[in-house]
Structure 1
Amino acid sequence: MRVGVVGIGWAGQQHLAAYSRMDGVRIVSLAGMEKDLRDSLQAEYSIPSAFDGWEEMLQHGGLDAISVAVPTFLHAPISIAALEQGLHVLSEKPLARNAVEGRAMVDAARKAGRVLDVAFNHRRRGDIQALKQIIDDGGVGRPYYAKASWLRRAGIPMMGSWFTNPELAGGGPLADIGVHALDYALHLLGEPKVVAVSATTHSELGPRGRGGNNRYSAMAASHPFEVEDFASAFLRLEGGATLLLEAGWASYREVEDLLDFTVYGTDGGAELKVQGAPMAAVGELKVFTDKDGENADYVPPAVPGRAHQAVVEDFVAAVRGGAEVWGRHDGSLALSRAHIIDACYQSAQEQKEVRL
């Protein structure tokens, strides 16, 4: 299987490392604008061809699939062009800047009869997988309330870059890290349909040059800060359950990042807290329940997940599965997330609940 990777930042490097560990997969092309880094990665992974731009890579040919690990505004044009050439595509999250672009990507995948997958790597965490098994097995009964968050103290990514430009990124932390929390929350809850959202967004620190640190290179400003730095949303789920979603790049809270999930069910509850930057391999997972009227809380075992390695392996497996499998990997799940994020931004702008 001949693959190419577009984008040589942190995400692109995760894809390169994952592909390089797989039997029967060869990285044959690399595209990225930072020449010194591109040359270094090309040498490290013995990649035959390297290009400045993705257009050159696609024109060169010789590919079966590509990974798209570039700024969000490029996801749709690159993915659609590749799909139209008959290539399979693994894109970084979010699917696109909005659901309109995402729909065009899904339509292109369906028309081409090719795989379009999106890298939601946090659902591959070992602690989330352990909790998923508990919920699926009825360990908390019927979930009726959940909360999912990804919060930072000072984590605006490259303030003044494409991340803080709505035309390039599609939004702020809600679109960037909130989509991860949304994805793993709905995954844990069994993919309930979201029927309505009520959301708020705030931009309090970023416009004043606050909320960055060295890890996120926050003060290299070339564009004004035009997105939110904190967002919250109340989601009504089909069947009556609710989900509270929070996403923040910057707020006055504890220094360490927090990724978490809480669920209350008819027969139990659970809490997962992953604190620390970079994210701890295994977070604190607790399950609360009772037996014969007595407290029966416990700490279930969880092992480190495999993040992008698992994402890439799933993508390769889907491609190798043949046409009967490809139709189940057309980007529809990521598109559903895009519709929800769009509805949240609409709700925040109009200051009212939006039904989906």
Structure 2
Amino acid sequence: MSDSNLSKTVPLKVGVVGVGWAGQQHIKAFSNVAGVEVVAVAGMESELLAQLQTEYNIPHGFSRWEDLLELEGLDAVSVAVPTFLHAPITIAALERGLHVLSEKPLARNGEEGAAMVAAARQAGRVLDVVFNHRRRGDVKKLKSIIDDGELGRPYYAKASWLRRRGIPTLGSWFTNPELSGGGPLADIGVHVLDYALHLLGEPKVISVSASAYSELGAQGRGGDATYIAASANNKFEVEDFASAFIRLEGGVTLVVEAGWASYRDPADLMDFRVYGTDGGAELRAAQSLQISDSGLRVFTDKEDVNADYVAEPLEDGNHQSVIDEFVAAVRSGAGVWGQYDGSVALNRALIIDACYKSALEQREVRL
């Protein structure tokens, strides 16, 4: 890629690796951005690959990601494949001078993530990771409330993503730690950790004390009813629930919970609760076939009188916002590309590493 290929009048040419749900979100979002062309897609599912090429008028299709990276004229690549492939594809793309947007988590562990960040710095290219939940309208609204000082100084927060039956394909790569890097803590917990630290202003993590459990998945529960443990491609070798007590700089405490499966309300729950010196807030997003419940409540006083209220969320961003910001970063020029080197995602990966170490060794781990 030429550093001069930044103008909106010159099409930004993008390749997408992965044709599953995440890859399809990337293709759709890139197709919505003026001046961006999805010129290549790679995936092993030949029928789906051909379908996406036809639907989005993508000229080049490959079964191998290596062949996609060889395509002349590419400017950027999206990596939307199983976690164990994030590092090799990302590093190879960066070494070819391409900008990279990777699905979460950054990598299976902090060591791989550090190699990706180093490659981005060496190449002088953008490396960004899909943290779409921090761009939700309710999260953005709460961020503005906290940043405006309405809650005073936050000192305690609790954030969760909990499911009743939400193991993503029992017996697949998701439940093999060598392929996924972990269970719900690595899969959905990384989102929870990201939006929690984002809301709190990116405080430094001092230490973690975590627990991880594998009680239901190992018995074939908590996922697709058709799962048969004896015939699965991969055994269930990750946790199905994890909890972490995280000490932050300034004496602030954060508790994170991430669960694919547990005996609880059938609705998926994503939440964030924060207590501050001048107020508190509770963000709740729950969804199932039976119920839908969401809201952002703020708890505060005005002249010693209860002044609680329900805050209206801002406009949702999600995947489209991620893609828009990635494109803007690429077009911003070499002078600012160094600000987008994957460091935030690496921070999350190192914290999750510490959580797994703490759970395994049953002790507090300092970072």
- TM-score, normalising length: structure 2: 0.94
Matched, 1:251 2:259: no
Q: CA deviation at 1:61?
A: 2.8
Unaligned runs of 5+ in 1: none
- The one of 87, 94, 109 equivalent to 1:98 is 109
- Distance in 2 of aligned mates of 1:282 and 1:114: 41
Q: Deviations over 1:83-134 (max 9, x none)?
A: 0000000000000000000000000000000000000000000000000000
Q: CA deviation at 1:225?
A: 0.3
- The one of 307, 321, 346 equivalent to 1:335 is 346
Match of 1:140 in 2: 151
- The one of 326, 329, 338 equivalent to 2:337 is 326
Secondary structure, counterpart of 1:314 in structure 2? helix
- Distance in 2 of aligned mates of 1:332 and 1:33: 30
Q: CA deviation at 1:60?
A: 2.5
Secondary structure, counterpart of 1:253 in structure 2? coil
Residues 282, 304 of structure 1: 8 Å contact kept: no
Match of 2:170 in 1: 159
Structure 1, 58-67 or 109-118: larger mean CA deviation? 58-67
Equivalent pairs, count: 353
- Distance in 1 of aligned mates of 2:241 and 2:187: 11
Match of 1:55 in 2: 66
Q: Deviations over 1:294-346 (max 9, x none)?
A: 10001111144120000000000000000111000000000000000000000
Residues 73, 96 of structure 1: 8 Å contact kept: yes
Q: CA deviation at 1:218?
A: 5.3
CA RMSD, 1 decimal: 1.4
Secondary structure, counterpart of 1:40 in structure 2? helix
Matched, 1:80 2:108: no
Residues 128, 342 of structure 2: 8 Å contact kept: yes
Secondary structure, counterpart of 1:271 in structure 2? strand
Q: CA deviation at 1:62?
A: 2.2
Q: CA deviation at 1:277?
A: 4.1
Secondary structure, counterpart of 1:90 in structure 2? strand
Match of 1:269 in 2: 280
Residues 152, 277 of structure 2: 8 Å contact kept: yes
Change over 3 Å in CA distance of 1:158–1:334 after alignment to 2: same
Change over 3 Å in CA distance of 1:281–1:9 after alignment to 2: farther
Residues 287, 293 of structure 2: 8 Å contact kept: no
- The one of 317, 320, 329 equivalent to 2:328 is 317
- Distance in 1 of aligned mates of 2:288 and 2:146: 27
Matched, 1:236 2:237: no
- Distance in 2 of aligned mates of 1:237 and 1:347: 16
Secondary structure, counterpart of 1:86 in structure 2? coil
- Distance in 2 of aligned mates of 1:316 and 1:259: 28
Q: Deviations over 1:154-206 (max 9, x none)?
A: 00001111000000000000000000000000000000000100000000000
- Distance in 1 of aligned mates of 2:338 and 2:232: 43
The residue type paired with residue 362 of structure 2 is Q
Matched, 1:36 2:47: yes
Residues 126, 282 of structure 1: 8 Å contact kept: no
Q: Deviations over 1:11-69 (max 9, x none)?
A: 00100000001110000000000011110000000001000010011122321000000
- Distance in 1 of aligned mates of 2:128 and 2:235: 32
- TM-score, normalising length: structure 1: 0.97
The residue type paired with residue 205 of structure 1 is L
Residues 286, 292 of structure 2: 8 Å contact kept: no
The residue type paired with residue 122 of structure 2 is K
Secondary structure, counterpart of 2:70 in structure 1? helix
Secondary structure, counterpart of 1:252 in structure 2? coil
Match of 2:13 in 1: 2
Q: Deviations over 1:228-278 (max 9, x none)?
A: 000000000000000000000000000010000000000000001100048
1:77-226 matched pairs, under 5 angstroms: 77-213=88-224, 221-226=232-237
Matched, 1:11 2:11: no
The residue type paired with residue 72 of structure 1 is T
Match of 2:7 in 1: none
Secondary structure, counterpart of 1:97 in structure 2? coil
Residues 210, 243 of structure 2: 8 Å contact kept: yes
Q: Which runs of 4+ in 1 moved over 4 A?
A: 217-220
- Distance in 2 of aligned mates of 1:58 and 1:169: 23
- Distance in 2 of aligned mates of 1:27 and 1:108: 24
Q: Deviations over 1:60-83 (max 9, x none)?
A: 232100000000000000000000
- Distance in 1 of aligned mates of 2:172 and 2:223: 12
Unaligned runs of 5+ in 2: 1-11
- Distance in 1 of aligned mates of 2:124 and 2:70: 20
The residue type paired with residue 312 of structure 2 is P
Secondary structure, counterpart of 1:287 in structure 2? strand
Q: CA deviation at 1:283?
A: 2.8
The residue type paired with residue 264 of structure 1 is Y
